[in-house]
Structure 1
Amino acid sequence: MNKLKFLVSLLVFFPMLNFAQLSSEEKQTRIDEIVNRIQLPEIPEVEVSVLDYGAKPNSAKDSKKAFDKAIKSLQKKGGGKLIVPKGEYQLEGPIHLISNMELHLAEGVLLNFGTNPKDYPMVLTSWEGTMLYNYSPLIYGNNLKNVAITGSGTINGNGKEFWQSWKSKEDPAKQKSREMNHNSTPLQDRQFGEGSYLRPQLLQLVNSESILIEDIRIENAPFWCIHLLKCKSATLRGLSYDSHNSNNDGIDLEYTSDVLIEDVTFDNGDDNVAIKAGRDDEGRANAATPSENIVMRNCLLKGLHAFVIGSEMSAGVRNVFVQNCKAHGYLKRGIYFKTNPDRGGYIKDIYIDNLKFDKTEDLFYITSFYHGEGEGHNSKISDIYINNITCEEATGTAVVIQGFEESKVENLHLQNIKVSKANNGTSITNTKNVVVDNLIIGEEAGVPTAVGKDVEKNN
C-alpha cells in the first residue's frame, strides 16, 4: 500500500497544465447539438401483419417467406409498419429490411433464427474492421433511410447452439481478410462465406440513416449483436441483452456519426459499447468518415468491458460523450481504449462523466500496444477527460496508460476518481500533459499525524 500511495502522490503534484477543457455548460451544449441533430425515422402510416402473409407462430413452420412477402407488400406501398404479433416464430434465414419501414415486435414475440449457413446469402458487410462479402446478418439492411426496429419482443440468434463452434475455425479466413485489407484487394474479390467460418452479426445496418432501434431484447447472438456500419443519425434506447457467446459485443459503431445510446441494459459477453472506425490500411484510407458525435448515457453496464474505443479505429474516433452510467457485477475493464502500431488514426475529444463500477480488473486502460502487434502506424491519443468515476475494487491496476515514446498519450485529465481498493494503483508510461485532480486509490489520507512522544524522547 505504501508503494501505491507514492505513485498516486507523484501524479497529484504534477503542475496544472493548460489544454482545452470544456465547462459543464459547454459540454452540455455540445451534447444537445448532437442529440437535436439526430433525425428519427419517418414511417408511413401503413400497417401490415405477418399473420396475413402466412406466418405461423408457436409452430415449427418456417415463417421466413411470410416475412419476405409482408416486407415486399410494404415496399409496394412506399413503406410502413410490419407488426409481428405475440408468439414464437421460426425463421430459416434473414430478415432484410427496406427503407421507410418499422419492424415492430409486440410483447411476447420471440424471433428464433435458424442455423443453416446456406440460408444466409452473401451480402456486403465488414468483419472486424475489413469490408468484405460474407453471410448475411440475421437482420440486415443496406443503403436505407428511415428504418426502425421497435417493441419489447426478443431476437434469438441461436449462437451457442451452432455458430459458437466456428470460433475455433475462423483464423485462416480472418487472416486472409486482413491480408486483403493490407494489399488493397478489390472489394468484389473479397468473397467469404462457405468454408470461411466468419460468423454473421445478429443485426447490422450499412450505409443507412435515420435509424431507431428501441426496446427490443437480444439473446444468444452468433457474433456482434448490433453493428452500425457507415451509418448516420441513429437512436438506440431501451434495449436489453442476454448474450454471452464469443465476441458478443452489445453495440458496435463503425464509420458512424450522430448517435444517441441511452437507457440500455447490457448483459453480454464482450464489450458493451465499442466505437470503431475501420482497420489498418483500409481504415486510414477512409479517414474522411471517422466515427464521431456520439452520446451514451443512463445505461446499466454488465459484460467483459463497459465502454471501449478500438481496436479497429484507423479512420479516427472523436467527439464522444459518455455520462451517468452504472455497472453491476464484475468487468474485466471499465473504460478501455485499445490501438496498436498497425492502426494509425486517432482518438480525441472524449468526455466521460459520472460512471460507477463495482469490481473490475482494470478500471481505466489506454494502450497503444493491443495484442503486442504491428509497426509503422502509431495512433495519436489525445484530449481525454475523465470525471467523477467510482470503483469498489480494481483487482489489477486502477489506471493504466501506455503511449508510444515517439507518440505520447497527450492531454489527459483525470478528475474526481475514487477506487476504494486496488491491487496496483497506476502504471503510466509515455505521456504528455497528464493532469490529475482528486485521484484517490485506497483510503483517503487525512490530517497528518503528530510526532509521537516516544519519537521525541529518542531525539
Structure 2
Amino acid sequence: MQKYTTIKLKLKAILLLGILFLSSCKTKSNHGEALQKQDPWKNLKQIEQAIKEPFFRTANYNVIAYGAVSDGKTFCTESFKKAILACSKDGGGRVVVPKGKYLTGAIHLEDNVNLHLEEGAEILFSTNPEDYPMVHTSFEGMELMNYSPLIYAFNKKNIAITGKGILNGQANQTNWWPWKGSTSEGHDYGYRDGMPSQKDKLNLPVLMDMAQTDVPVEKRIFGKGHYLRPNFVEPFGCTNVLIKDVKIINAPFWILHPIKCTNVIVDGVNIESHGPNNDGCDPEYSKNVLIKNCTFNTGDDCIAIKAGRDNEGRKVAIMSENIIVRDCKMIDGHGGVVIGSEMSAGVKNVYVENCTMDSPNLDRAIRIKTNSRRGGVVDGVYVRNLTVGKVKEAVLKINLHYAIYGDQTGTFIPKVKNVILENITVKDGGKFAILADGIESSPIENVTFKNVKIDKVEENFSLKHVSNIQIIDTYINNKKIDKAN
C-alpha cells in the first residue's frame, strides 16, 4: 500500500512540475507579447528583410536605337514601346534613355524592365489625353477604366524606374489641373466657371455611385469625354518594384501610386509638383513598402497611405501594411505622412523615422483622416526621430469625421489605435500639439507622446473621445507636460 502511495505522490509531483512549467512558459509568452507591444520597432528589421529589390540582367536597350529622337518635339511613344518589349522578351535589363528631351505618351512597363534615365535625360509627357489609352486603373480609391497613368505596369514582376533624369508630366493651369474643377485654399489651378471638370455629374459622382453599387470595373468606362486625371506612375498588382533617384515634376494627379503591390522601394526620388491632389506617394492595398531618402515638395500630402474607398475598399479587403518611411524630407504639403481618407480595407504597421519637415505651407506632420462611411481600422502608426520646423495646424491630427464630399456619415465605424510619437522636436507647432476628434462609440485608443519637445503652440491639446493617452518626458512651450488635459 505504501508503495502505491509513493508512486501517486511522485506522479502528483511530476504533474505539478508540468503545470508550473507550462504556466512559466505562458507567463514568459505573455511577458514577451507585452514587451513587443511596448517596443513595436522590434518588427521593423523583419519587415525590411522581406522587401526584395528587383534584379535585372546586364543588358542595355537604348531608346535611340529604336527610333527615339531627343529633340523634345518628335513623338517617341512607339520607340519606348519597342525598346521595352524587346528588353522584356530577351529576359530583361535596362531600357536606357540618354541625355536629351523625349516627348511621349503613356509608357507601359513589362516584366524585368528597368527604365533608366541617364543624367540630363528628360521625358516630356504629352498633354493630349488621347495619348493615354484606356486601362484598368484607379481614382481616389475606386477602380475604373480610364486614361492610362503616364507610366503604368499591370500585374508585372521585377520592374524599375531609375537614374538621375527627369520625368515631366507637363501639367499646369492649362493642362490637366483645371479638371480639378475649383480653386483650393487660394491656389489657381486654371479652372473657370463653365469649364468641364471631375465634379460634373457624369464624372466623379457617377464613379462614386458605381463603386458603391458594385458595378463591375470593366463597365466603369471613363476616359475620353470625362475628366478624371490620370496618375503619374502606377504599378498595379506588381511584385518587386523599384523607383530610384529620378526627379518628378508637374504631375496631373497622384504622383507615385503603387496599388495592390508587394515589395516596393522608393529611394532617393525628388518630387516637385504643386498641382491639385498632387500627393507625393500613395501606397494603396500594398504590402512591404519602403520609402527612403526622398524629398517631397507637393501640392497635397507628401505621403498618403490608402486602402480603398467605402464599399469598394471593404470588398477588395486588402490591407495596406508594413509601410516604412525613412530619412525623407517633407517641404510643402497638406500633411507630412498621412493615412486616409481612403482606408476602408485598413492600414497597419506604419513606421516613420529620421525624417525632417519644414515649411510654412505644411499643415500637419502626422495625420489620420477617416469617417463612418469609410469604416476600416488603423492599427499601429509608429514615429520616431522627427525634426519639424513649422506646421500650421497640428503636429498630430486624427480626425474620424473627415468630409469633403458632403455628408460622409454612415454605419461603418472606423477604429484608430496604437499611435506612438517619440523623440520629436518641433520649432513652431501651430495651433495644437495633438488635435484628435474620435467617435463616442469608437474612441481613438492608445496615443503616446514620448520625449517630445514642441515650441510655439497656441494650445496643447484638443481631444474628443480619446482613450488612454500617455504623455511622457514631453515639453510644450518649454513646460513639462505630464498628462493631456
User: CA offsets, 1:412-443, max 9 Å, x none?
Assistant: 11212221111222100101111111332212
Change in 2 beyond 3 A, CA 1:249/1:20: farther
- Residue in structure 1 matching 2:385, options 346, 354, 359: 354
In 1, Cα distance between equivalents of 2:270 and 2:37: 33
User: CA offsets, 1:46-65, max 9 Å, x none?
Assistant: 21100101111024111111
User: CA offsets, 1:270-293, max 9 Å, x none?
Assistant: 111111101101111222x20001
Q: Classify the secondary structure of the residue corresponding to 1:229.
A: coil
User: CA offsets, 1:152-179, max 9 Å, x none?
Assistant: 1000001114001111111131121111
Letter in 1 for 2:53: L
Native 8 Å contact 2:427 2:454 kept in 1: yes
Percent identity between matched residues is 40
Q: Does residue 303 in structure 1 map to residue 332 in structure 2? A: yes
Farther off after superposition, 407-416 or 315-324: 407-416
In 2, Cα distance between equivalents of 1:295 and 1:302: 19
Equivalent position of 1:32 in the other structure: 45
TM-score by length of 2: 0.85
Deviation at 1:23, TM superposition (A): 7.5
Q: Does residue 421 in structure 1 map to residue 452 in structure 2? A: no
User: CA offsets, 1:70-109, max 9 Å, x none?
Assistant: 1122132122210111111111x10000011100000011
Farther off after superposition, 428-437 or 400-409: 428-437
Q: 1:144-223 alignment to 2 at 5 Å? A: 144-160=156-172, 161-168=174-181, 169-171=197-199, 172=201, 173-223=203-253
Q: Does residue 271 in structure 1 map to residue 284 in structure 2? A: no
- Residue in structure 1 matching 2:118, options 106, 109, 121: 106
Equivalent position of 1:321 in the other structure: 351
User: CA offsets, 1:230-272, max 9 Å, x none?
Assistant: 0000111100011110011000000000111110011111111
Letter in 2 for 1:375: G
Deviation at 1:335, TM superposition (A): 0.6
In 2, Cα distance between equivalents of 1:295 and 1:29: 13
Equivalent position of 2:273 in the other structure: 243
TM-score by length of 1: 0.90
Q: Classify the secondary structure of the residue corresponding to 1:245.
A: coil
Q: Does residue 365 in structure 1 map to residue 400 in structure 2? A: no
Q: 1:373-388 alignment to 2 at 5 Å? A: 373-388=408-423
* Residue segments in structure 2 that go unaligned for 5+ positions in a row: 1-32, 182-196
In 1, Cα distance between equivalents of 2:37 and 2:165: 41
Change in 2 beyond 3 A, CA 1:336/1:45: same
Q: Classify the secondary structure of the residue corresponding to 1:159.
A: coil
User: CA offsets, 1:112-140, max 9 Å, x none?
Assistant: 01111111111111100011111001000
Deviation at 1:33, TM superposition (A): 0.7
Q: Does residue 118 in structure 1 map to residue 150 in structure 2? A: no
User: CA offsets, 1:201-227, max 9 Å, x none?
Assistant: 111000001111100000000001100
Equivalent position of 1:86 in the other structure: 99
Provide the aligned C-alpha RMSD in A.
1.6
Which structure has more relative contact order (CA 8 Å, sep 6+)? It is: 1
Native 8 Å contact 2:353 2:385 kept in 1: yes
Farther off after superposition, 203-212 or 185-194: 185-194
Letter in 1 for 2:329: L
In 1, Cα distance between equivalents of 2:427 and 2:436: 20
Q: Does residue 64 in structure 1 map to residue 77 in structure 2? A: yes
Q: Classify the secondary structure of the residue corresponding to 1:385.
A: strand
In 2, Cα distance between equivalents of 1:186 and 1:442: 54
Equivalent position of 2:428 in the other structure: 393
* Residue segments in structure 1 that go unaligned for 5+ positions in a row: 1-18, 447-459
- Residue in structure 2 matching 1:405, options 425, 440, 443: 440
Equivalent position of 2:320 in the other structure: 291
Paired positions, count: 425
In 2, Cα distance between equivalents of 1:416 and 1:174: 44
Equivalent position of 2:6 in the other structure: none
Change in 2 beyond 3 A, CA 1:394/1:21: farther
Farther off after superposition, 223-232 or 363-372: 363-372
Q: Classify the secondary structure of the residue corresponding to 2:110.
A: coil
User: CA offsets, 1:388-423, max 9 Å, x none?
Assistant: 112111332221111100011011112122211112
